[in-house]
Structure 1
Amino acid sequence: EGRCAVCGDNASCQHYGVRTCEGCKGFFKRTVQKNAKYICLANKDCPVDKRRRNRCQFCRFQKCLAVGMVKEVVRTDSLKGRRGRLPSKPKQPPDTSPVSLITSLVRAHI
């Protein structure tokens, strides 16, 4: 079990190119998807650690970028949840009435 590159919390795997905790992963994803712009009320060097990571969104996002999190890897709304699957076809119930079944068999036999 490693540490989050952004805040130092426990992190078990990589997200957006960097080992991060679930909190920083979600924060980074939401920020990129909403194209959010934050303002630092201090000197743009606020401490970002597990205890204080929610105090300044500007500095937290800057640290996400500084440690190498990649904005381009975040899926936009149109691709959310897709993971490369093809769009599913609308399912239509098969036509299994006896008449249509017999008609299909007769056509196939001719």
Structure 2
Amino acid sequence: GSREDGEPKGEEKICTVCGDRATGYHFHVMTCEGCKGFFRRSISKGVGFTCPFTHNCTITKAKRRQCQACRLQKCLAVGMRKDSKLGLGSLP
């Protein structure tokens, strides 16, 4: 079989939030670049999202952009923490 990025077969990492292909640990959780950026933007702006549905939206790769409120809630639920801005140059 073919190998991607030099990783052994069966070692593909999955985003804990949406199920997309993860790129590593971001904010303490294995996530994809999309969820990493979404979480970083959400916490830096301090915006309050409101779910237009039932506050129980399913967050998948295909549907992750449909409800920002539930996506952010899932980020927090799986353990993403705003106190750990790893790799964002937070050192003085």
TM range (shorter): 0.7 to 0.9
Of 46, 53, 59, 2:70 maps to 59
The CA RMSD over aligned residues, in Å, is: 1.8
1:33 aligns with 2:35: no
Of 81, 84, 89, 1:73 maps to 84
Q: Which has the higher contact order (CA 8 A, sep 6+)?
A: 2
Rg bigger for which structure? 1
Of 16, 30, 33, 1:22 maps to 33
Find the residue that maps to 2:83 and give its secondary structure.
Answer: helix
Q: Distance in 2 between matches of 1:35 and 1:25?
A: 15
TM-score of the superposition, structure 2-length normalised? 0.81
**Conserved? CA contact 1:40–1:58, under 8 Å:** yes
Question: Structure 2 regions of 5+ residues with no counterpart?
Answer: 1-11
* Cα distance, 1:82 vs structure 2: 3.0
Q: Distance in 2 between matches of 1:10 and 1:16?
A: 16
**Conserved? CA contact 1:32–1:74, under 8 Å:** no
Higher helix share: 1
User: Which 4+ runs in 1 deviate beyond 4 A?
Assistant: none
Q: Which residue of 2 aligns with 1:82?
A: 89
Identity %: 46
Q: Distance in 1 between matches of 2:83 and 2:21?
A: 24
Q: Which residue of 2 aligns with 1:90?
A: none
